[in-house]
Amino acid sequence: MQRRTSRWLTAGALAAAGTLVLTGCGSGFNESPEPGADGGELTSSDDALTVLIGSSGQAETDAVNDAVAAWSDSSGTDAKVSVASDLPQQLSQGFSSGKPADLFYLSSEGLPGYASNGSLLAYGDMLENKDDFYPTLVNSFTYEGDFYCAPKDFSTLALEINTDIWAQAGLTDDDIPTTWEELEAVSKTLTTPERTGLVIGGEYQRVGAFMAQAGGSLTNDDNTEATANTEENVEALTFVQKMLNDGTLKFAKDAGAGWGGEAFGKGLGAMTIEGNWITGAMTNDFPDVKYTIAELPEGPAGKGTMQFTNCWGIAADSPNQQAALELVEHLTSAESQLAFSTAFGPMPSIQSAAEEWRAANPTLVPFLNGAEYAKGVPTLQGAPDIITDINSKIEGLKTGDPKAILDTAQSNIEALLK
């Protein structure tokens, strides 16, 4: 898992050239092929599977290689894993050339572009474990009513607290904020001339959590209606703006850091809001910082957080879709996902693995609890450009107009939906 926001945006900016269609029948197919999502048939051949991933490091690369190799040994189907140096670019090039990988990492932001031009196999409903995935994750990979691909793992946002600074300020576990009012209060207590109580990324991917806590989002759940400029979202941005002007909250760049985790690790912020990828950064870059993790405070509408996820995409013109589907079922099994979690930190995307994961990761449970109420980035073709525009305006939220920011987003989303 990477710790910077770009992971959740770059894949979404892709616009694959050409329209790739689902291959029908031909030499090498099974005698009784499985039905495809469009009423056709899954392709099958003796070709080896190609698997393209974007890796956070050697631990992730080794874990995926091991899992794929184990499946190959048991299935008798060869499969080769390739690590992309630039996953969005290599995916785009593969589709443009008509020779994409059979199986690949795909972000929720990248899904609409590829789904709309026929590049992807919509196989979600064919999965034997389809009902085991968290519903919020299924929603992130559903486009125009079709469940396209299996979520491979996910992260949510939680509140990270520097426990040494917390104790020095005279705060105890009883003071861990559970409401916006309590968050304001402890942020004020923790703020000094050298340090800000709360430092977060100045972007929708962090501030959006407050929108969810207020009962708002950029679109409705099925991405058919723009809901950006609702009273709930205005209330959320106004609350964040108040904390910015009170000096108890800063955006990371204004605190002198590249992201919230860096500000937190350097002691520029006593608290931050980040995903579970922060744990690796703290271990590697700030091993001496002691911290605890809590669920985000409730807003006027209750609990809310953001989720970030990727799926296993299958190419529509893969000559061996049946084997790719079987490999996905192996890679998303409880055994494989728990092994991935141990190796490089992601949370399993299936509910049946939750109990074992909680037992193995007691300090990280607040992240998994967020799965029940998390909001994802809208699955709309063109959404990444809208998010980029929103982010450019959120950076100036301290002196900006929350309603105007959201009105612009509303107009832009409505234009996409026409």
Instruction: Give domain limits for the chain.
Output: 7-155+308-375, 156-306+378-417
- pLDDT given for residue 23 in this prediction: 26
Cβ contacts of 131 within 8 Å, gap of 6 or more: none
Provide the b/e sequence for 136-154 (b: ≥16 CB within 10 Å): bbbbbbbbeebbbbbbbbb
CA 279/CA 261 separation, integer angstroms: 9
Strands (DSSP E) contained in 195-348 are 196-200, 249-251, 269-275, 291-294, 305-314
Angle formed by the axes of helices 204-213 and 383-394, nearest 10° = 90
Select 156-306+378-417's CATH number: 3.30.56.10, 3.40.50.300, 3.40.190.10, 3.50.50.60. Answer: 3.40.190.10
DSSP secondary structure, 69-123, as one string: HHHHHHH---EEEEE-SSHHHHHHHHHHHT---SEEEEETTTHHHHHHTT-B---
Largest distance between two CA atoms of the chain: 73
- The encoded tokens of residue 365 equal 């449970």
CA 405/CA 107 separation, integer angstroms: 26
Do residues 273 and 180 touch, judged by C-beta distance below 8 A? no
> What torsion, rounded to 10 degrees, do the Cα atoms 343, 348, 354, 359 define?
10
Backbone phi, psi, residue 147, to 5°: -80, 105
Do residues 122 and 115 touch, judged by C-beta distance below 8 A? yes
| CA count, 13 A, side-chain hemisphere, 253 | 8
CA 80/CA 66 separation, integer angstroms: 11
From residue 338, give the alpha-carbon distance in Å to each of 31, 151, 209. Answer: 35, 14, 27
User: Using only C-alpha atoms, what is the Rg of the chain?
Assistant: 22
Check for a shared fold between 7-155+308-375 and 156-306+378-417.
yes
- The encoded tokens of residue 222 equal 């099925």
From residue 214, give the alpha-carbon distance in Å to each of 278, 332, 407. Answer: 25, 33, 17
CA 218/CA 366 separation, integer angstroms: 24
CA 38/CA 122 separation, integer angstroms: 8
Do residues 328 and 102 touch, judged by C-beta distance below 8 A? no
Q: In 295-401, which residue ranges form alpha helices assigned H by DSSP?
A: 321-331, 334-344, 354-360, 365-369, 383-394
Cross-strand partners of 270: none
- The encoded tokens of residue 262 equal 């860096």
Closest CA to 43 of 163, 123, 132, 153: 123
> What torsion, rounded to 10 degrees, do the Cα atoms 10, 11, 13, 19 define?
160
Element (H, E) at 80: strand 79-83
- pLDDT given for residue 40 in this prediction: 60
CA 27/CA 23 separation, integer angstroms: 12
Give, for all 418 residues of the chain, the pLDDT tens digit: 333 333 333 333 332 323 222 222 222 333 334 445 444 689 999 999 999 999 988 999 999 999 999 999 999 999 999 999 999 999 999 999 999 999 999 999 899 999 999 999 999 999 999 999 999 999 999 999 999 999 999 999 999 999 999 999 999 999 999 999 999 999 999 999 999 999 999 999 999 999 999 999 999 988 899 999 999 999 999 999 999 999 999 999 999 999 999 999 999 999 999 999 899 889 989 999 999 999 999 999 999 999 999 999 999 999 999 999 999 999 999 999 999 999 988 999 999 999 999 999 999 999 999 999 999 999 998 998 999 999 999 999 999 999 999 999 999 999 999 8
Architecture of domain 7-155+308-375: 3-Layer(aba) Sandwich (3.40)
Do residues 141 and 120 touch, judged by C-beta distance below 8 A? no
Do residues 50 and 82 touch, judged by C-beta distance below 8 A? yes
Do residues 217 and 187 touch, judged by C-beta distance below 8 A? no
